[in-house]
Amino acid sequence: MQNKRKEEFQILLAIDGRRSFSVDRLFALLEQIEKTGSISKAAANIDASYRYAWGLIQDAEKELDIDLVIKQVGGSEGGGTSTTENGKKLLYQYISLKRDIDKQLEGLLDPESDKKKTSEQFADTPNQEQYLLIATTIGPVETGLIDLLEQVYYQEKGILVRHISAGTGRALEIARMGRVDLVLVHAPELEEAFIAEGYGVERKPLMSNLFYLVGPTTDPAGLKYIRENAGVTGLFRQIALTQKEFISRGDRSGTHIRELEIWEKTGIERQNQWYITSSGVVGNKGVLELAMERHAYTLIDSATYWKAGCQEAMYVYAGENSADPLLMNHFSIILLNNKRLKNINDQGARAFCQWLTKGKGRHIIEEFGKEYGGDPFFKLDESYHSR
């Protein structure tokens, strides 16, 4: 009987034409430092000496010209070692890259087989069940919530969760390609279409906040003089009538889709001389900064506004304490269809979803952002009815 070859690959890194070196062993070490908080324990877990581990890190830091770890000395705990932010980013990017290459290599060499385990080049590299990749809308990333959830989940479960940050439309496109295991988005109409197409199997409400119409405190469009019962559509109409600048995301994100919905209800045609689609600007934070620079109005989410600390420059003209459905911003988790998207980590996605909605993740969301104004950035969203 002929045995199948076991194909493996190594990732080699060369900086500016200098000597190349394999990074697999390095990232196995960094992953163990993340897990144990100790370089000696990390070295032991990859069957290496302490001296070898430090030498590997120092060589890599010299070649990359960045710090990868922080060594803390003394204290009641006796010190320890942790990865830097650059070290974390490199580790997570490596894991995502290796996962993608594993899948493509597997499909090339054995296209008829079902999903196999990832390469076992070293024992402690996370396998398919030990890490998770999500596509998430940008707002929760910009506020820092996603990073915090990922860190705590790793500390509690030993499972790495990493994200691709994109507007809702793009996040769902990435999910359709089977590149992620889970999505977190905030555009109900797009979510329903995604599920109807057979890519998603279940949508779970997670949290909500508010959309804010914000603009310069000088109020060039005179929004403060519009009757309160005019609502957000009346304010949008006033911006158009006075032809004062409005900055749009223009990227099929959840925020952009909601903005278009409001404009549609005004019945006013937008014109290029005052309606500006942002170019090269990412997320609500980038749009807010552009609006401040141009003394323009824009639609963003409440978390971005409070995190930016721009209250002296930008005023909230609609959204605060609002019950208007147009200004409610609901975030949902969508579980993907593992019968259609064969390579997703369905079990891991469901476990993470359960942790977010029923476990410690729930408490993190409830408390997140309170230091900026007393209220959390997001409210837990048990259920809601789509319009």
Q: Do the domain assignments include residue 22?
A: yes
pLDDT category of residue 205 using cuts at 50, 70 and 90:
very high
55 part of a folded domain: yes
What's the Cα-to-Cα distance from 347 to each of 64, 208, 278, rounded to whole Å?
36, 26, 39
- Name the residue range of residue 147's domain: 121-209+329-380
**Span 27-53, mean pLDDT?**
84
As a whole-number percent, the residues of the chain with pLDDT over 90 amount to 56
Per residue in 56-71, pLDDT tens?
888 888 878 888 888 7
Are 221 and 152 part of one and the same domain? Answer: no
User: 386 lies in a domain?
Assistant: no
Residues 6+ apart with CB under 8 A from 342: 114, 115, 178
Note whether 147 and 244 are same-domain residues: no
pLDDT tens per residue, range 290-328:
999 999 999 999 999 999 999 999 999 999 877 899 999
Range in 79-93, 217-231, 269-283 the model is least confident about: 79-93
In a domain, 132, yes or no: yes
Give per-residue burial for 90-124: e unless 16+ CB within 10 Å, then b: bbbebbbebbeebbeebeeeeeeeeeeebbeeeeb
Instruction: Report which DSSP code applies to 225.
Output: G
Residue 153: both structure tokens together:
């989940």
Q: Are residues 293 and 224 in the same domain?
A: yes
Q: What is the pLDDT, as a whole number, of residue 58?
A: 87
- Same domain as 320, residue 258: yes
Give the pLDDT confidence score for residue 6 in this predicted structure: 43
Residues 178 and 216 in one domain: no
Nearest CA among 173, 328, 153, 192 for reference residue 252: 173
pLDDT tens string 360-376: 999 999 999 998 878 99
> Do 72 and 42 share a structural domain?
yes
Q: Is the pLDDT of residue 166 over 50?
A: yes
**Rounded mean pLDDT, 142-156:** 93
Quick one: pLDDT at residue 34? 77
What are the tens digits of pLDDT across the range 212-221?
Answer: 999 999 999 9
What is the residue-averaged pLDDT of the chain?
A: 84
Pair 231, 286 in one domain: yes
Q: How many domains does the chain have?
A: 3
What's the CATH code of the domain at 274? 3.40.190.10
* 259 and 322 assigned to the same domain: yes
Q: Which of 108 and 85 is assigned the larger pLDDT?
A: 85
Mean pLDDT of 7-13: 58
Beta-bridge mates of residue 205: 332
pLDDT at 7: 46
Confidence of residue 195 (pLDDT cuts 50, 70, 90): very high
Of 34, 67, 88, at which residue does a domain stop? 88
360 and 222 in one domain? Answer: no
Q: At 154, list the tokens.
A: 């790793």
Question: Residue 75: pLDDT above 70?
Answer: no
Give a yes or no: residue 256 inside a domain: yes
The pLDDT of 181-189, averaged and rounded, is 96
Coil, helix or strand for 100?
A: helix
Do both 225 and 319 map to the same domain? yes
100 in a domain, yes or no?
A: no
Classify residue 39: in a domain, yes or no: yes
216 and 314 assigned to the same domain:
yes
What confidence category does residue 264 fall into, taking pLDDT thresholds of 50, 70 and 90? very high
Q: Helix 50-64 crosses helix 24-36 at what angle (to 10 degrees)?
A: 110
The CATH number assigned to the domain holding 51 equals 1.10.10.10
Identify the bridge partners of residue 14 per DSSP, sorted by sequence position.
20
Torsion-angle region of 74 (φ positive above 0: left; ψ -120 to 50: alpha; else: beta): left
Considering the domain boundaries, does residue 160 fall inside one?
yes
pLDDT at 3 over 50: no
Instruction: Among 35-39, 75-79, 154-158, 277-281, name the one with the lowest average pLDDT.
Output: 75-79
315 in the same domain as 235: yes
pLDDT digits (tens, 9 = 90+) for 86-136: 777 777 677 766 666 665 666 555 555 444 443 333 334 444 556 899 999
C-alpha 132: how far from chain center = 12
* Residue 319 backbone zone (phi > 0: left; psi -120 to 50: alpha; other: beta): left
